Amino acid sequence: MQALRIFTFLIFAIFSSTAALAQPLYAITMHGDPALPADYTHFPYVNPDVKKGGHITYGVVGTYDNLNPFILKSMRTTARGMWDPEFGNLVYESLMQRSRDEPFTMYGLLAQTVEWDEDRTFIQFNLNPAAKWSDGQPLTADDVIFSFNLLREKGRSPFSNRLDSVEKMEKVGDSSVRFTFNKKADRETPMILALSVPILPKHAINPDTFDQTSLTPPIGSGPYRVKTVNPGESITFERNPDYWAKDLPSKVGMDNYDTISVDYFLQETTLFEAFKKGDVDVYEDGSPGHWADAYDFPAVSSGEVVKDVFTPKLPSGMLGFVFNTRRPIFANPKVREGLSLAFDFEWVNRNLSSNAYTRTESFWQNSDLSSYGVPANQRELEMLGPIKNRIDPAVLDGTYKLPVSDGSGRDRTVLKQAVDLLREGGYTIRDGKMVDANGRQLSFEIMTQNIDQERIAIAYRRSLELLGIAVAIRTVDDSQYQRRTISFDYDMIMKVYPSSLSPGIEQISYWSSQTRNKEGSSNFAGVADPDVDTLISHILTARNADDFRDAVRSFDRLLISGHYLVPLYHIDDQWIARHKRVGHPETLPLYGYQLPVWWDATVQ
């Protein structure tokens, strides 16, 4: 009898524990608990009492010829706003909504609640019964399953890869979908499924033609519908008055304009002129010289144009000249390191940027995730294992720092360090030229996409020419730039590696062996290194905040030691100019200003 009681108790305990773990959740987070309670009414950084109406016009440089952002054929030429983290996902939506005031927390959207277990071996999305498409049809579990399958078969990366970590996708009841994971999954996998996959209408899409470009306005579940299409020039969206989620807590204070237009320009200078005239309502500025000198026009003097400075609590990210290591000339890390040292930041900062920039020396600088100035602790060393032998000792003990030049543009001490490293990489100066053992001069092309990039490239070339290195600079139009970057047809390009407080699966696209030769990936440097792959896996499998921090720091150390790019600089502030009729909340979220929560202040 006693044995029977014990057995009964164990069965009850197991059942109770399992049931508790599978209780529906209103929000999920990568580490820790959501900041907002279950009865939250809106995100902290919105104005819940905003008066909706009016219009906004954004401006972008480029073109578009397609309204489907999920296929390879139009990866870089899809109209902005369809599925857009900057302007907002106007037409399509994901299962959950991310809070921009927390490192990585998501709240209910298409999925009203979710269920998962402690080990995250599965996740179940329970759809909001109010969710519907813009044509009034209900959004169903069949739509979710259809979307994942269609994107796997005909979508571009990364949408085509989302089911790689899923062993089984099944419909549960009438309005739930459960994903059971395989061994490829990690702790971020359920978060990615919740946030990074658009849900598409099964009844309104022909799978046979989905992978073809199209300018036909689509049906979505989002707050806006496509109103007018002017290919390559502009697109206008109109707010759906019957939008199903307009009163949902995760959407309150957002989607505030009746119409949103995106105008396209061939050059940045033309875009700025349109802003000055009032044809474009906001202008995001990233140039210190431009920010300081370009706003001497009547609309600024009268107060019609307002210059805002925001300081988010974000890591710096990394801007740099990226070496395409698929090219044999950049295969040797000593060569890459030597070329990196030749960039004279102090000269560039003083002569081209009014000393506005800070040198970037870590991918997560200005955050607790950065390895800069921080010696590796015991846990990090254990994570690294034998990989620590590949890391620069100065990077490992936290003393690493890029050399500071005298600002002359020809600092002999720094240039000698560069020459010494290039010699270790097989190059010597002969008859004024940097040549290899066969007498071939070290030469390469920097591909740029605008005047600002070209100016920095010219300054860099100036230093390299002092070492006998031949550098060509080619500035190409937007379409050519996108084609060549997609196919990795370049020697060197300038790229930004954005960073967040929750790095994760996007690091695979940037650095993983599996993306080195995958067209359309963000592996611009062509990295294929099993040690890099290992450290990415540490980030993705970390179970607590301390392990996560140490995993990112160790990864940061390996990237720095790999010299995959020439580190440039960053600014801690965000600069944006706006016409005063555009209003925004006073509260700034963790991730900086968010355009989707701004509004037309002329609406009464």
Q: Calculate the alpha carbon distances from 496 to 69, 262, 499, 584 in Å.
A: 21, 23, 9, 27
Contacts of 266 (CB under 8 A, 6+ apart): 61, 477
d(CA 459, CA 44): 44
**Nearest Cα residue to 115 out of 165, 175, 41:** 175
Q: Which domains does the chain have, with CATH numbers?
A: 318-570 (3.10.105.10)
Residue pLDDT, tens place only, 211-269: 999 999 999 999 999 999 999 999 999 999 999 999 999 999 999 999 999 999 999 99
CA atoms within 13 A on the CB side of 86: 10
What is the structure's pLDDT at 74?
A: 64
Phi first, then psi: give them for residue 539, nearest 5 degrees: -65, -45
Q: What are phi and psi of 250, to 5 degrees?
A: -75, -5
- Give the integer Cα–Cα distance in Å for 337 and 342: 9
| Predicted structure pTM score | 0.80
Written as six digits, the tokens of 534 are 């290992």
- The pLDDT value recorded for residue 76 is 63
Q: Which residue has the tokens 């499998």?
A: 541
- 425's tokens: 């990489």
- Which of the residues in the chain have pLDDT under 70? 1-22, 74-76
Residue type, 345: F
DSSP 344: -
Provide long-range contacts, Cβ within 8 A and 24+ apart, for 202-206.
202/140, 202/142, 202/143, 202/146, 202/147, 203/133, 203/137, 204/133, 204/135, 205/146, 205/150
User: Residue 21 is inside which H or E element, if any?
Assistant: helix 2-21
DSSP single-letter state for residue 560 = H
Q: What torsion, rounded to 10 degrees, do the Cα atoms 488, 494, 499, 503 define?
A: 20
User: How far is it, in rounded angstroms, from Cα 75 to Cα 413?
Assistant: 45
DSSP structural state of residue 82: S
Confirm if 189 and 539 have CB atoms less than 8 A apart.
no
Residues 468-480 pLDDT 10s: 999 999 999 888 9
C-beta atoms surrounding 388 within 10 Å: 17
**CA–CA dist 220, 201 (Å, integer):** 7
Do 318 and 360 meet the contact criterion of CB atoms below 8 Å apart?
Answer: yes
Q: Cβ of 313: how many Cβ atoms within 10 Å? A: 13
Instruction: With CA atoms as reference, report the closest residue to 524 among 586, 553, 482, 561.
Output: 482
User: Which residues have a Cβ under 8 Å from the Cβ of 49 and sit 6 or more positions away?
Assistant: none
Tell me what pLDDT residue 572 has: 87
**3-state SS record for 379-393:** HHHHHHHHHHHHCCH
**118 contacts 273 by C-beta, under 8 angstroms:** no
What is the pLDDT, as a whole number, of residue 559?
98
Tokens of 338: 């030597």
All residues at 6 or more sequence positions from 76 whose CB lies less than 8 Å from its CB, including other chains: 62, 479, 482, 486
Q: Is 94 in contact with 143 (CB distance < 8 Å)?
A: no
* Amino acid code (one letter) for 481: Y
Residue type, 428: T
The answer for residues whose C-beta is within 8 angstroms of residue 454's C-beta and 6 or more apart is 448, 473, 475
Burial class for 450, CB neighbours closer than 10 Å (0-12, 13-18, 19+): middle
CA distances (Å), origin 430, targets 328, 336, 381, 465: 21, 20, 43, 13
